[in-house]
Structure 1
Amino acid sequence: MYSPGNPIAVVYDDHLLFAESFSAVLERLKLFKSVHIFVDNEHAYLQFLVKHFDEPIYLFLDYYLPEKNALTLINETRRINKKAKIIVVSSISTPTIISHILTYNPNGFLSKSSGVDIVIECVRSIGQDKPYICPQIKAIMDAKLSLADEIPFTARELEMLHYFAQGLSIIETANKTHLSKHTVVAHRRKMMTKARVNSITELLAYARSKELL
């Protein structure tokens, strides 16, 4: 049974039917003070975060959103709300993408095929400050990635890649990441060296070939 001290739950997904169904499950569990839905509306979500910046929030976040993935929201969420817990909820079955997501250090990782018992186990584990990965995702990760499939970029570099893929300039990326333009340039140069490419176009093509975008 929830109490006034319980966290707020947020479901962020671009599929309204899933978001409403999953939020109904969370409400029935009575583990949260309230449950809120955002269907691919980043501006409204960030406004909500600012309003509740000092309250514990559990964000249940889908990976795929139209035109992008939602991982950049992890950094924005943590920047605005230091008490936020991030749980990725996805139907992903590709080890490379799962490894990519894990570089962002989510507090939890759930498959959309998980049952209610797994959701409860995840929430309770995170409540005890223990990260949680559901059995389905663990099973996928048990298939070791070959050296060629390992991801050479840091979490910060992966974040920048997504901004570059959206067509943002060096200055715009610097503003988004709260870094100087010189630091962004240095990161981009390092990424190109790691990928053994000579242009931003080739870098983005490399990232897409590794399913990082």
Structure 2
Amino acid sequence: MAQNYLIIEDHLMLSSLIEKQLEQIQDIGEIHRVKNGAEALKCFKTNYIDFVLLDLLLPDMEGIHLIPKFKEINSNVKIIIISAESDIAKIKNVAKLGIDAYVSKMNNDQQILKAIQSVKNNKRFISDDILELLFNYDSLEVTPQKSLQKFLTKREVEILHYIAEEMTSKQIADLLLISRHTVETHKRRMMQKLKVTNTAGLIKVAYDKQLLK
């Protein structure tokens, strides 16, 4: 039976990429794309939606406020979060609202299709980097080099070295062929993991724990 999907994402390039991934699904029905919360509610009320793919940060509201409204209209809807959010408290709050999957924008290559397949099999799905944050953040004690390297991803360590060399986010993005936004998200996530509030603190901890030499 064909199933209908609603993509709620204000970045058109990413929205288009998600749509192309959905088109690989055999039983795909209608795919609706909207850019904000108001459009999402209007579309949801006028169409039967089986799956919602929701960004948490929308131009007109936080995506988290849409979840109970969707559930009230259709209690059977499946909700998959696709977000760059790395704040642990916010992720946990979203999980409490009964979402079915959480996919990180930082690591979404085929993750969306895996998430959908898991949900169809009545299983929840969380992408690996989000799982790492959830399992390690609360118990993090910034310890020796080996532990710190294990806690940070390879990409984060790579970006950290470039930050220490006083490269700007744009320079790092150009070098690694990624967007400036992606670099900034990695930087923010590292600061949250290491419990510092700025770039100077990030570099200090890295040197103190001998991650940088």
State the TM-score bracket (shorter-chain normalisation): 0.5 to 0.7
The equivalent residue for 1:89 is 82
Deviation of 1:140 (Å): 1.0
Q: Check if 1:51 corresponds to 2:42.
A: no
The equivalent residue for 1:70 is 63
- After TM superposition, which residue ranges in structure 1, 4 or more long, deviate above 6 angstroms? none
Residue identity matched to 2:8 = Y
Equivalence map 1:1-213=2 (5 Å): 5-42=1-38, 44-52=39-47, 55-66=48-59, 68-145=61-138
Asked if structure 1 preserves the Cα contact closer than 8 Å seen for 2:37 and 2:60, the reply is no
Q: For 2:122 and 2:116, how far apart are their aligned partners in 1?
A: 10
Q: For 1:139 and 1:10, how far apart are their aligned partners in 2?
A: 28
What are the ranges of 5 or more consecutive residues in structure 1 without an aligned counterpart? 147-213
Deviation of 1:87 (Å): 0.5
Q: For 1:122 and 1:36, how far apart are their aligned partners in 2?
A: 18
Asked if structure 1 preserves the Cα contact closer than 8 Å seen for 2:35 and 2:58, the reply is no
What are the ranges of 5 or more consecutive residues in structure 2 without an aligned counterpart? 140-213
Q: For 1:66 and 1:15, how far apart are their aligned partners in 2?
A: 10
Residue identity matched to 2:41 = L
Normalised by the size of structure 1, how large is the TM-score?
A: 0.59
RMSD (Å) for aligned C-alpha atoms:
1.9
Look up the SS of the partner of 1:24 in the other structure: helix
Deviation of 1:82 (Å): 2.2
The equivalent residue for 2:209 is none
State how many pairs are aligned: 139
Normalised by the size of structure 2, how large is the TM-score?
A: 0.59
Asked if structure 2 preserves the Cα contact closer than 8 Å seen for 1:94 and 1:140, the reply is no
Asked if structure 1 preserves the Cα contact closer than 8 Å seen for 2:54 and 2:79, the reply is yes
Name the CA shift for 1:124/1:86 in 2 (closer, same or farther; >3 Å). Answer: same
Cα deviation digits, residues 27-74 of structure 1 (max 9, x gap) = 1334421211011151x322322223xx45110000111253111110
Name the CA shift for 1:123/1:50 in 2 (closer, same or farther; >3 Å). Answer: same
Residue identity matched to 1:45 = A
Q: For 1:65 and 1:12, how far apart are their aligned partners in 2?
A: 8
Look up the SS of the partner of 2:75 in the other structure: coil
Deviation of 1:127 (Å): 0.6
Asked if structure 2 preserves the Cα contact closer than 8 Å seen for 1:126 and 1:132, the reply is yes
Deviation of 1:83 (Å): 2.2
